[in-house]
């Protein structure tokens, strides 16, 4: 990522939102991938909310979602947006400002 802001402190609490389209293949993959990463790197300090934009179309509008699946880091600030099935672990960790062990 070209632009670096100061990294969030260790142990800060993560609030994540994943926007998916029903049980479509990449959405399903994205759910399982992000869950695995959170469980491993953010044990006991994250909150993950999965939102189906079929059922809540207006939520997509509010967040200006362009594609699904999309992950939004609500906290810690600044907000971050990741799009895709979250299968590239290195990218996901970088996007969440987490370091690989």
Partner 1 sequence: MSLDMPAKSAVGVSEIETLRRMLEETQEALRAIQHGEVDALVVPRENGPTIFTLEGADQSYRLLVESMNEGAVTVAQDGTIFYCNGAFARLLGRSMDTLIGASLLPYIPESEREAFSELIQAIFHQGAKAEFLLIRADNQTVPVQFSISQLPQSPVPIFCIVATDLSDRKRVETVLRDARHQLEIKVQERTAELKERQQEYASLTENSPDIIARFDVELRHLYVNPRVERVTGIPAKEFIGKTHQELGLDPKLCALWRTHLLHVFNTGEPQTIQFSFPSAEGERNFIARIVPEHDEDGKVVSVLSIASDETERLSAQKKLQASEEVLRSFYDSSSVLMGIVELIPGDVLHIYDNPAFCAFFGLPAESTRGKRARELHLPADMLDVWHGHFERCLTLNNPIRFDSFLRHAGTERWLGVTVTPIGEPSESNRRLSYVAEDITDQKISEFALKISEDRLNEVNRTLESRVHERTRELEQANATIKASLQEKEVLLKEIHHRVKNNLQIISSLLRMQLGRLRNSDSDRILQESQNRIRSMAMIHEQLYQTNDMSNINFKSYLQTLMSHLLQSYSDIQQNITYELDADDINLHLDTAIPCALIATELISNAFKHAFPKATGGALKIRFKKTAEDHILLAVEDNGIGMPPNLDYANSSSVGFTILNALCRQLRSKLQVESGAAGGVRVTLIFRPSENINL
Interface residues with partner 1 (CB under 8 A) are: 1, 3, 20-27, 53-54, 57-58, 60-61, 64-70, 78-79, 81-85, 87
Tokens of 68: 């699904």
Q: How far is the CB of 11 from partner 1 (least distance, A)?
A: 25
Residue linked to tokens 């370091």: 99
Q: How far is the CB of 63 from partner 1 (least distance, A)?
A: 10
Q: How far apart are CA 79 and CA 38, in angstroms?
A: 17
The answer to whether 76 and 42 have CB atoms below 8 angstroms apart is: no
Question: Among residues 10 and 66, whose Cβ is nearest to partner 1?
Answer: 66
């Amino acid at each position: 990522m070209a632009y670096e802001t100061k990294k969030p402190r260790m142990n800060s609490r993560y609030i994540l939102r994943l926007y998916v389209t029903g049980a479509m293949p990449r959405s399903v993959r994205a759910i399982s991938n992000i869950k695995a990463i959170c469980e491993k790197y953010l044990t006991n300090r994250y909150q993950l909310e999965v939102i189906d934009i079929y059922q809540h179309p207006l939520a997509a509008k509010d967040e200006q979602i362009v594609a699904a699946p999309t992950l939004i880091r609500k906290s810690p600030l600044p907000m971050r947006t990741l799009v895709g099935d979250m299968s590239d672990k290195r990218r996901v960790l970088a996007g969440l400002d987490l370091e690989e062990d």
